[in-house]
Amino acid sequence: MSPQPEVLPDAEAQCRQLAELIRPQLFRKPALVGIYSGGAWIAERLRELLDLPEDIGLIDVSFYRDDFAEKGLHPQCKPTVIPFDVEGRHLILVDDVLYTGRTTRAAINELFDYGRPASIELAVLADRGGRELPVAATYGAWAVELNDHQNLVLGKQDDGRLVWRMENA
């Protein structure tokens, strides 16, 4: 993992890098499923970059989190939309930051409510380590070490460009 960055990388360039990592697998006709909100933005960008004809799936893991009883419902909960048949499909689950693995676990649990996919791969822009579950990204653009009190946040500018910012927790 790279040490804490002085300057945050270009998220748009990272999306292009992620697309090139995924491109060799397009023969499997994978469907993209983005986790709200950053992962959904990245999945849409990947769809454009890879010129995929099919709409992406969008997933909100709020009800599937193992800390739901503790934290309650997130105030900006969005509906999950899976516009394709999950059964037997090769899926690429897309998120902005991989950290503990709990969001990924929740997303996989929810996907199985829609059917049994042939496979699920994970694509992320940033892997910050700190895993609590045995989850790893198949495709990743950036491995970075952060302090526990730091959070990487992906944002979307008015012109639609994706950008990173660092927040202190």
What local confidence, expressed as pLDDT, does residue 74 receive?
54
pLDDT at 133 over 90: yes
DSSP labels for 52-116? --SPPEEE--GGG-TTHHHH---TT----B--S--TT-EEEEEEEEESSSHHHHHHHHHHHTT--
Residue with tokens 């360039």: 13
Point out which residues pair with 123 in neighbouring strands.
94, 139
Over residues 81-86, mean pLDDT: 97
Distance between CA 103 and CA 98 in Å, rounded?
8
Omega prior to 37 cis, within 30 of 0:
yes
Distance between CA 6 and CA 8 in Å, rounded?
7
> Looking at 21-30, 54-63, 132-141, which range is the least confident one?
54-63
Long-range contacts of 151-157 (CB under 8 A, 24+ apart): 152/8, 152/96, 152/97, 152/126, 152/128, 153/38, 154/11, 154/38, 154/41, 154/42, 154/96, 154/97, 154/125, 156/41
> Looking at 1-5, 61-65, 92-96, 120-124, which range is the least confident one?
1-5
What local confidence, expressed as pLDDT, does residue 68 receive?
47
Give 15-58 pLDDT, tens digit per residue: 999 999 999 999 999 999 999 989 999 999 999 999 999 999 99
pLDDT at 62 over 50: yes
Distance between CA 50 and CA 70 in Å, rounded?
39
Contact partners, residue 54, CB within 8 Å, separation at least 6: 31, 47, 83, 84
